[in-house]
Amino acid sequence: MKYNVDNKGFYGDFGGSYIPEMLFSNIDELRKNYLNIVNKDSFEKEFNYYLNKYVGRPTPLYYANRLSEKYRAKIYLKREDLCHTGAHKINNTIGQILLAKALKKKKIIAETGAGQHGVATATVCALMGMDCVIYMGEVDIQRQKPNVERMRILGADVRPALSGSKTLKDATNEAMRHWINNPDDTHYIIGSVVGPHPYPDMVARFQSVISKELIYQLNKVENRNYPDFIIACVGGGSNAAGIFYHYLENSKVNLIGVEAAGLGVSTNKSAATTKLGKKGVLHGSKTLLMQDENGQVTEPYSISAGLDYPGIGPLHAHLFNSKRCEYLSVEDDEAMNAGIELSRLEGIIPAIETAHAFSVFDKLNIKGKIVVINLSGRGDKDLETYIKWGKY
Amino acid sequence: MNRITNLFKEKKNNILSIYFTAGYPSLNDSIEIIKTLDECNVDLIEIGMPFSDPIADGPIIQNSSNIAINNGMNLNVLFDQLADIRKITEIPIILMGYVNPVYQFGYDKFIKKILDCHLDGLILPDLPFDDYKIQFKSIFDKKNLSFISLITPNTSEDRIKQIDNNSNGFIYMVSSSSITGKKSSFNKNQIQYFNRINSLSLKNPKIIGFGISDKESFEQACKYSNGAIIGSNFIKSLDKNDLSKSIRKYIRLIK
Ligand SMILES: Cc1ncc(COP(=O)(O)O)c(C=O)c1O
């Protein structure tokens, strides 16, 4: 299993646990306990119960007829947008809140970019009756207003991150500072496959339900359990990790991650980490990181708040380095156009993060192939951005 | 010779250590700050290497780091500034910062520069123990440099002993579970924690840092350790328009 995390928390050269001592006991507690807890039958049973009855899983695998016609491929959509709260993020928050309960934690904190992870966290906190504090960059609070109000309705305390570019990276800094200040009864629900070990592995495991279902569903409609291509957008990389998970060792499947190029990789307004990043350390792990020659982290940019992050999870850095996955990057306009196209052809308005995954058909040789796209979230939260962009 | 070990040999109590961010308030202030601290008979100096995402720091050091980076501070500039520092002071000097800028600079080149500038030690709170052992330990031991580790109220006794065994110089006792810059007068829990650590009879001396803000908290910290570190509050007191005067004034309030 060359794509699994090793016993030191590394994927190849990437990962590990680069944290100050103030976080050590919390991370160590997680590291020592997470596998025991999540592998218990009782945990699995409860996790599956909530995924089924509360989240609405399994999510459908939908054959996109008109999209398939246009691109002359067999295109299937894995409908994570139909999850309760509107994105894949809740798979992870259900898992982590049950873990937090098992660890007897009383309070939950989280960071959020697009607000989907924040909403998913606020939702499970309401469900379990736990206190919830969400950090969100000031810029993202402006561009994802509906999600801010959803979190507040759900009873979460939404706190603005005011430093740096006031986006996801800065919200993560603030959440980590909060955890340093409140180590005893608080669990930090990280929203993607980033952070110190064991977070990347833990989040990937919770999201791996996506590819587990896909194997079963494809078998039914195609008589084989794997597609030729899987495409997913990559911010930190959790929806991609989830849909790649059970196919990592199957070399017949082309795995494609799509990053946000913002205004273009040759401008200084981009978030295409595999194109612009170098090995570095941020938020507790060694990974690919956008940074200047002095090791200062670059402020990223993307029209989509959920992809606006200067790194990727260490698993993805390893999949990129070892060439197991191909990473493409698309610009704001390409993604927006693809979002409109999906709306017009299939009647589905995607989240702008997700729209990135729909704009690479022309860059891949998919004619006649079976293609699965992870439809990671719906676009309700992005109406204002669609309206501002206006070209529809 | 290691200036840190010598310091603790000669002085057991009331060791005053000052932390400042290199490149703040202005790019070329480091030398003047160090010179003034020397004249004020400070015992130890920690130079903060600014990083864009300092997750263990509060607003004051976040701000000084940002300004320093915008002023053009980086490790090349810092080592140029410190090249002749030993003509100015014999106070032990420790660099403190986050892993990423050091990693980009290159660990080997970084160690060489520390030696060239005759600095004495390093604190990299987010460097894991394994990486320290692979990248730093043998040369630090050979060249008699100090690698200083943090402990907190939540650090287990086993881990404290492991840190003590692998440290030379002193142990940095973080006063409470918090980021830098929070004012504190010590509460019962903290005093219990200080007493607990003291009862472990560690081989290294101990210095308390985080939340030391004035004469009272400095003196209180010194009751439970060999000395204390002041960072955020010192940085806050710096007056761009008369740097050395503001430093003198501040140190006089403490000592
Ligand atoms: C719908 C949707 N897709 C994708 C992402 C990106 O995150 P990840 O790369 O972890 O899946 C987000 C993040 O906010 C999201 O809301």
* DSSP string for A316-354: HHHHHHTTSEEEEEEEHHHHHHHHHHHHHHHS--B-HHH
Find the Cα–Cα–Cα–Cα dihedral B104, B108, B109, B115, rounded to 10°.
130
Instruction: Determine the Cα–Cα distance for residues B109 and B102; give it in Å rounded to an integer.
Output: 9
Non-local CB neighbours of B128 within 8 Å, separated by 6+ positions:
A16, A17, A18
Per the residue annotation, which of A89, A105, A166, A169 is the catalytic one? A89
Give the single-character DSSP code of A55: I
**In this model, does residue A339 exceed pLDDT 70?**
yes
- Cβ of A20 within 8 Å of Cβ of B125? The answer is yes
How far apart are alpha carbons A85 and A282 in whole angstroms? 29
Calculate mean pLDDT across residues B231-252. 97
* CATH of the domain spanning B3-254, picked from 3.20.20.70, 3.50.50.60, 2.60.40.10, 3.40.50.620: 3.20.20.70
pLDDT tens column, A269-286 = 999 999 999 999 999 999
Predicted model pTM:
0.97
Residue B129 confidence (pLDDT):
85
- Name the residue of chain B whose CA is nearest to A174's CA: B55
Distance CA A265, CA A329 (A): 8
For chain B, give every domain's residue range.
3-254
Q: Which two tokens stand for residue B125?
A: 């709170």
Nearest to A163 by CA among A332, A297, A304: A297
Distance from CA of A276 to the nearest CA of B (A): 15
- CB contact, 8 Å: B31 with chain A? no
Query: What digits encode the pLDDT tens for the residues B120-163?
Result: 999 999 999 889 989 999 999 999 999 999 999 999 999 999 99
- Closest to A121 (Cα-Cα) out of A113, A109, A139: A109
- B53 CB within 8 Å of a chain A CB: yes
Rounded CA separation B232/B238 (Å) = 10
Residue for token pair 């979190």:
A151
CA B28 to chain centre: 20
A211: tokens are 């590819």
Query: How far apart, in whole angstroms, are the C-alpha atoms of residue A121 and residue B228?
Result: 40
Cα-based angle A259, A264, A168 (whole degrees, multiple of 5): 50
- Assess contact for A115 and A168: CB atoms under 8 A: no
Q: What would the pLDDT profile of A64-122 be if each residue is shown by its tens digit? A: 999 999 999 999 999 999 999 999 999 999 999 999 999 999 999 999 999 999 999 99
Distance between CA atoms of B165 and B238, rounded to whole angstroms? 37
Residue type, A37: I
pLDDT band at A1 (very low <50, low <70, confident <90, very high): low
Could you tell which of A144, A239, A304 is best to mutate to test the pocket of ligand 1, judged by most ligand atoms within 8 Å of the CB?
Answer: A239
A118 and A136 Cβ atoms separated by less than 8 Å: yes
The answer, for B134 touching chain A at a CB cutoff of 8 Å, is: no
Is residue B139 within 8 Å of B127, Cβ to Cβ? Answer: no
pLDDT category at A163 given cuts 50, 70, 90 is confident
**Which of A7, A18, A173, A178 has the highest number of chain B CBs within 10 A, making it the mutation to test binding with B?**
A18
Q: Where in chain A does DSSP place strands (E)?
A: 10-11, 14-15, 61-63, 74-78, 107-112, 131-137, 157-161, 186-188, 229-233, 254-262, 278-282, 285-289, 325-331, 370-374
Cα–chain-centroid distance for residue A392? 27
CB of B74 within 8 Å of any CB in chain A?
yes
Question: Which residues 196-255 of chain B have a CB within 8 Å of chain A?
Answer: none
- Judge whether A89 counts as a catalytic residue: yes
Question: What letters, b where the CB count within 10 A reaches 16 and e where it falls short, cover A290-329?
Answer: bbeebbbbbbbbbbbbbbbbbbbbbbbbbbbbeebbbbbb
Q: Which residues of B are catalytic?
A: 46, 57
Ligand 1 site, CB within 6 A: A 87, 113-114, 116-117, 192, 233-240, 306-307, 351, 353-354, 376-377
What is the pLDDT at residue B1?
A: 67
Q: Which residue of A has its CA nearest to B160?
A: A21
